[in-house]
Amino acid sequence: MGEKSKDSSSLLHGKYELGRLLGHGTFAKVYHAKNLQSGKSVALKVVGKEKVIKVGMMEQMKREISVMKMVEHPNIVELYEVMASKSKIYIAMELVRGGELFNKIARGRLREDVARVYFQQLISAIDFCHSRGVYHRDLKPENLLLDEDGNLKVTDFGLSTFAEHLRQDGLLHTTCGTPAYVAPEVIGRKGYDGDKADIWSCGVILYVLLAGFLPFQDDNLMAMYKKIYRGDFKCPPWFSSDARRLITKLLDPNPSTRITISKIMDSPWFKKTIPKSVVTKEEQEFDFDNDKSKQQAPATMNAFHIISLSQGFDLSPLFEEKKREEKEELRFATTRPASSVISKLEEVAKAEKFNVKKSDTRVRLQRQECGRKGKLAIAADIYAVTPSFLVVEVKKDNGDTLEYNQFCSKELRPALKDILWTSPPDSSTPA
């Protein structure tokens, strides 16, 4: 394996054709490349193994990459695959063509409604990763890209700790420029929470979007550090009072009192408009085609469904390779009529602020509030094995799998336990 000779137009592993250099950082070069199998363009990050080994970061890099493979979100640059030769590590990533978000600010500050859409997308990405234990720790203008449709894409998520460690080690020269986006506790190097540090950086980013300049500026680096430590900044007069309040809470120099992501999402400025792309697509999806559900009686089940039933809930681990935490469906049996199942689901929906669409054989719930990947939606299909024995299949229809699993274990299962069928003990089995 490995790279082929330069004569064969820089083919990598026989799979990627390397093109022009797009940029380079402290420890990697990024090239435009083409996947010859799919014809798809990618960004190919090339990291020197020797540098990684020299700073004892090989294990961490492997760990970060394995985490990144799990992280798929519309506002995060996707990681496709990782390859290696004797001397290099190659990371194939989504190619984002719209340039950096901050090129827009070079032409002047953004209106609040425009800045809000970018900030909502940024917070959505950050929240999604934090829920999976992944922290960026190095949010700055170069890591915020735009795609052709103008959507924000955060890059270097989960790989940034690696870059940061190299810089702090002093083994590679620093090209990261100003520490203007870095939280005070990170500058102090006393150990810090990745989530709190990310929230501070989001505050600096929001300030720059709205102001067109940095909150902490000084030609003297030490003087700038002092301003960051004290949280010493002023909001320009054109900031709305809601924006001013939110930024003050984001740029709190004390990490333990700094605003949390759930409070950010609940703030008046953040909630003023819901991202349009999320609403329209999902509201259309929520009006599911009732024609599919017009049967008057529950549909019958095939033999496989019946065989795979066990007592109560069945997570059918057989025949499925998905990890348990990624599970997106569950199944249960009941001897109650379909109307009882539907009214139970309606009760859960009401208590948990879900909207409901229903037919005789299908119920679809959609959360009113936006989650990490849009609004969580759940579909329950009701099948009749016999007229008095039903099987209900519950599936995630939209939204984040983690949120779906939490909802199932904390809300749905407890609410349904009294209608579950469990097979009677052997002694009382009817003849």
Q: Which two tokens stand for residue 133?
A: 């234990």
* pTM value surpassing 0.85: no
The annotation status of 327 as a binding-site residue, yes or no, is no
CATH of domain 102-275: 1.10.510.10
- The rounded mean pLDDT for the chain is 79
Q: Give the pLDDT confidence of 197-207 residue by residue, as tens digits.
A: 999 999 999 99
Rounded-to-10 torsion of CA 122, 125, 127, 132: -160
Q: What pLDDT is recorded for position 318?
A: 35
Closest among 160, 376, 130 to 261, alpha carbons compared: 130
Closest among 278, 270, 273, 136 to 206, alpha carbons compared: 270
Q: Please, which pLDDT band fits residue 26 given cuts at 50, 70 and 90?
A: low
- Average pLDDT estimate for 418-431: 58
- Average pLDDT estimate for 101-113: 88
**Does the active-site annotation cover 218?**
no
Q: What percent of the chain has pLDDT over 70?
A: 77
Query: What are the CA-CA distances from residue 270 to residues 60, 146, 260, 375, 385 (Å)?
Result: 35, 20, 13, 16, 48
Q: Which of the residue ranges 77-81, 158-162, 345-349 would you say has the lowest mean pLDDT? A: 158-162
Query: Of 138, 156, 397, 400, which one is the catalytic site residue?
Result: 138
pLDDT over 80 (residue 185): yes
Q: What percent of the chain has pLDDT over 90?
A: 31
Q: What pLDDT is recorded for position 280?
A: 39
pLDDT over 80 (residue 13): no
Domain boundaries, the chain: 6-94, 102-275, 278-421
- Average pLDDT estimate for 4-23: 72
Q: Please, which pLDDT band fits residue 24 given cuts at 50, 70 and 90?
A: confident
Q: Which of the residue ranges 265-269, 270-274, 284-288, 356-360 would you say has the lowest mean pLDDT? A: 284-288
- Average pLDDT estimate for 370-386: 84
CB contact at 8 A, 106 and 166: no
Q: Does domain 6-94 have CATH number 3.40.50.300?
A: no
Higher pLDDT: 169 or 90? It is: 90
Same fold, 102-275 and 278-421: no
pLDDT over 50 (residue 142): yes
Angle of helix 194-211 versus helix 241-250 axis, rounded to 10: 150
Higher pLDDT: 136 or 24? It is: 136
Assigned CATH class of 278-421: alpha beta
Closest among 170, 194, 166 to 182, alpha carbons compared: 194
Q: What pLDDT is recorded for position 416?
A: 86
Strand-pairing partners, residue 31, are: 21, 44
Question: Rounded distance, CA 51 to CA 39, Å?
Answer: 32
Q: What pLDDT is recorded for position 327?
A: 57
173-211 in b/e burial notation, b at 16+ Cβ within 10 A?
Answer: eeeeeebbbbbbbbeeeeebebbbbbbbbbbbbbbbbbb
